[in-house]
Amino acid sequence: MRVAIYPGSFDPITNGHMDIIKRSCVLFDILIVAVISNPNKIPLFSVNERIELLQKAVAEIPNVTVDNFEGLLVEYASKKNAMAIVKGLRAISDFEVELQMALMNRKLNPNIETLFMMTSYKYSFLSSSLVKEIGKFGGCMSQLVPDIVLPDIKAKLKNS
């Protein structure tokens, strides 16, 4: 069984995230989309809210599950018997940060590979931070996030 982890903050999930999920789920038997708590960021959505949004967004993809974790990614991946970590890249700046993490993960556990996947050019500009900023100022988010979670994101931004 080929298991992979796609980790991220997903605060909130974007169509860029969905692009990586849809493309990587065909490469593995199970893709676990894992919500992490990043102590360097102040999230808009709680971990449980992010999990709920992700579950709605991936409900139609049978081999994708949603989970969350704290601590070291490679330890979590090992517990889940994952063979790979999937990381989405938008730009060279993403690669520099992700390469350093991938090399450290490889040092910690050489049995888990990191797969870098370039996001579609349609979403190369997209980030959760931009979605939140656009939404806070009343901009159109309809092609930035999955339609099924758009009302939830709008409601959260309105009440924040």
Contact assessment for residue 84 and residue 114, using Cβ atoms and an 8 Å cutoff: yes
Question: Alpha-carbon Rg of the chain, whole angstroms?
Answer: 15
Q: Helix, strand, coil: what percent of the chain each, to 5?
A: 45, 20, 35
Q: Which of 2, 41, 136, 158 is catalytic?
A: 41
Q: Which of 22, 23, 56, 90 is catalytic?
A: 90
Annotation says 17 is catalytic = yes
Q: Which amino acid is at 69?
A: F
Contact assessment for residue 5 and residue 80, using Cβ atoms and an 8 Å cutoff: yes
Annotation says 2 is catalytic = no
Annotation says 23 is catalytic = no
Q: Which of 9, 24, 87, 128 is catalytic?
A: 128
Bridge partners (DSSP) listed for residue 68: 35
12's CB contacts (< 8 A; 6+ apart) are 44, 45, 50, 53, 128, 131, 132, 145, 149, 153, 156
Annotation says 41 is catalytic = yes
Q: Which residues are catalytic?
A: 17, 41, 90, 128
